[in-house]
Homo-oligomer: A and B are copies of this chain.
Amino acid sequence: MEQETRGRTSRRRRARDGGGDTPKRKVNYRQLRNPFPQMAIFSDDQIAAMHESALQMLEELGIKVLLPEARQILARAGARVDESTQMVHIGRDIVEQALATAPKSITARAAVRERDLTLELGALTFQCGAGAPHATDLDRGRRPGTGRDFREFTKIVQHYDVLHMMPPVVEPQDIATNIRHYFTMEAQLSLSDKLPFVFARGTPQVSESFELLRDFRGLTDDEFQTDPHCYTVINTNSPRVIDTPMAQGLIDFARHRQLSIVTPFTLMGAMAPITVAGAVTLSHAEALAAITLTQMTNPGAPVMYGTFTSNVDMKSGAPAFGTPEHFKASLAAGQMARLIGLPWRCAGGSAANVNDAQAANETQFGLWGSLLAGATTIIHSAGWLEGGLTVSYEKIITDLEVLQMVAEMCAPTPAGPEEIALDAHDEVAPSGHFFGCAHTMARYQTQFYQPLVADWSNYGTWEENGSRTASERATGIWKKILHDDVRPPVDEAKVEALHRDIDRRTAKGGAQPES
C-alpha cells in the first residue's frame, strides 16, 4: 500500500491525472497478511490432548458416513467400516498420512491474476456473509432471497477489494433447484472476476458447474486441475456425520483438485459439548475425517481446515455469535490449525435481527476472535443478521468499514526521521497547530484512511443533513454501486457461449440437487 504521496511521485500522479490537485490515496486490500499477534487460549499440552482425543474419537467412536463410495474410499485406506451402521473408524495412521499430503499453501485462481489468492497460515482473506435464505434492506424490507438479490449481492461484493472471494450471499429461492447452479455460476462469472463458489449439492450439479467454469475460463482439464479455480464449503452434520452431498462434494472437489473448505458447524450445548474444549475437539475430529476423505480420494488435493464453533442460549436453544465463547473457540481452533499446519477458515456473525449496535458489536467481536486466532479466511465477516438467516445490504456496508480498517492495519507504517518530523515540531509554536505546516501539506490528501460510511461531521451538520444513521447512509452506498453497475471486463463471446450452454442444459432438464 502506498500511504503517502510526496515529491516527484506526487507531481507525476497529478500530471497523469490531468493536472488536478487531488492525488488519490492508493491502497491495496487484495493481498493481505495478518498483522495481529496470535493468541492462545489453551496450553500446548491441552491442545495436544485435544488432538489426541479427536484421533481417539475417530478411531474408537467412529464417524457416520452416509455415502457408500466415501466409506469404500476410507475402507481402502485402512479404516474399519461397519456397513450396517455406516460407521467408519479411522485410524490415526490414516489421518496422519492425510495431513502429510494436504497442501500447506494453496493458490486459488480467480479470473485475473490480481485476484488470485494465496491461502496459507499467515494470509488473511475475508468473505462476505453467505448462505442466507433471506435478504433485507431498508428500502424493500426483509424477504426470501431471490435471483435478483443474488445478482445484486454479487455486484456489491465485486465492488470491494477487501472481500476476497465470491460467496453465495443469499439463496435465490425463486430459481428452480434443478437450474439454480446455472444461475449462480452465470452471475459469478459474468459479474465478477473473483474466485467463484460452487455449492456441493451432489455430483451432477458439481460436475456441471466445473464444466461451465472450465469452459468460461478457457482452460483444459489439466489447467483446471493445476490450481483450484473455485471453492466450496463443506459442513459436516455435527455430531459425527458426513452426509451424502457433503461426502460427494469432498470427493468431487478432491478428484478435480478444487478447493474444499471443511467446516463443522458445532454450536456448544447443541450439536457439540457445552465446553469450548469439548466442542473444538469434536469439530477437529470431524474436520480431520473430512480432510482424510479428500486426501484418500486424491493425495495433495487442496483442502482447508475450518471451524465454526459458537454457543447457543441455553434457555431457548437460540444460536449466538460474537460471544466470548465463540471468541475462545476461534482461538482454540487456530491453535489446532497451527498444530496441523493447514490454512483454515473461521467465522464471525451476529444473532441480531436488525443492523444496530448489537449487530455491529457481535460481528466485530467475532472478527477479532478470528483475527487473533490467525484465521486464513474469515467467513461471514460482513452482512450477517439473525445468525445467518438474513443478509442485510446495509450491514454489508457498515461491516465493510471495519474490514477496510483492518486491511489498513496490514500495511507497514513508516517511522523514520521524516515521520518523527522534528522539523515540523520546530516549525509549529507551542499552542499552534499543524494544519498548515509543510509536513502536513505534503501529506494531507493521502495520509489517512477515508471512511466508507462513517460520518464524522458535527451534530449540527449531521442534523441538517437529515440525522441519518449509518444504516440509512449505507442504503445510498449500495444503491449507487447498483446504479453505476461497473463490471469487470468480460469476454462477451464467452458470456454468450455460456448462455447457450446453460440454455442447452436447461432444455435437457438441468440437474437436481442431492439430499
Contact = CB atoms under 8 A, between A and B. Distances in A.
A278 B419 contact: yes
A69 to B, nearest CB: 19
Q: Count copies of this chain in the complex.
A: 2
Interface in A321-352: 323-325, 327-328, 332, 351-352
Contacts of A372: 36-37
Contacts of A313: 448, 456
Given A274-B439, A361-B402, A469 B389 contact: no
A39 interface: yes
Interface stretch (A72-80, A90-98, A236-244, A254-262): A236-244
A42 B390 contact: no
Given A56-B422, A449-B323, A471 B356 contact: yes
13 contacts: A35-B39, A241-B430, A268-B448, A273-B440, A277-B413, A282-B425, A320-B451, A320-B454, A320-B456, A332-B415, A352-B454, A358-B360, A359-B470
Contact of A449 (B324, B364, B426, B454): B324
A343 B514 CA distance: 60
Contacts of A300: none
Contact of A273 (B36, B270, B424, B455): B424
Interface string A302-318: 00000000010110111
Interface of A: 35-39, 41-43, 46, 49-50, 53, 56-57, 61, 63-64, 87, 142, 237, 239-241, 268-278, 281-282, 311, 313-314, 316-320, 323-325, 327-328, 332, 351-362, 364-365, 368, 372, 386-387, 389-390, 395, 398-399, 401-402, 405, 408-409, 413-422, 424-426, 428-435, 437, 439-440, 443-445, 447-449, 451, 453-459, 462-463, 467, 469-471
Nearest to A445: B314
Contacts of A364: 360-361, 364-365
Given A271-B434, A355-B357, A365 B405 contact: yes
